[in-house]
Amino acid sequence: MSDSIGTKLAVITEKVINIESKVNKIENRLESEYVTRGEMNARIALLENNIALLQKIVYGVVGLILSGVVGGALIFYVNNAGK
């Protein structure tokens, strides 16, 4: 009878060790693959800064092109108005 209890105890101990091993693997995977809220907020802030910079550049280029087109149209109008 005590041999059966010892065997059951060994089986239960082995199962607990396997469960602990699996939990450790899951913890390691979560730590290595997933991002915390703080890290995500930092990444979002960096992306927002990059988008703001890109937006300023695009607005500057569009403004430059539009001012050139408007200036050209004015010069064309002024040159042809006198004829």
Q: Provide the residue ranges of all domains of the chain, joining segments of one domain with +.
A: 1-34, 38-83
Q: pLDDT exceeding 90 applies to what percent of the chain?
A: 66
Mean pLDDT of the chain: 90
Residue 44 is predicted with a pLDDT of: 94
Burial 7-32 (b: 16+ CB within 10 A, else e): eeeeeeeeeeeeeeeeeeeeeeeeee
52 pLDDT tier (thresholds 50, 70, 90)? very high
CA dihedral 5, 8, 14, 17 (to 10 degrees): -80
Residue 80 is predicted with a pLDDT of: 87
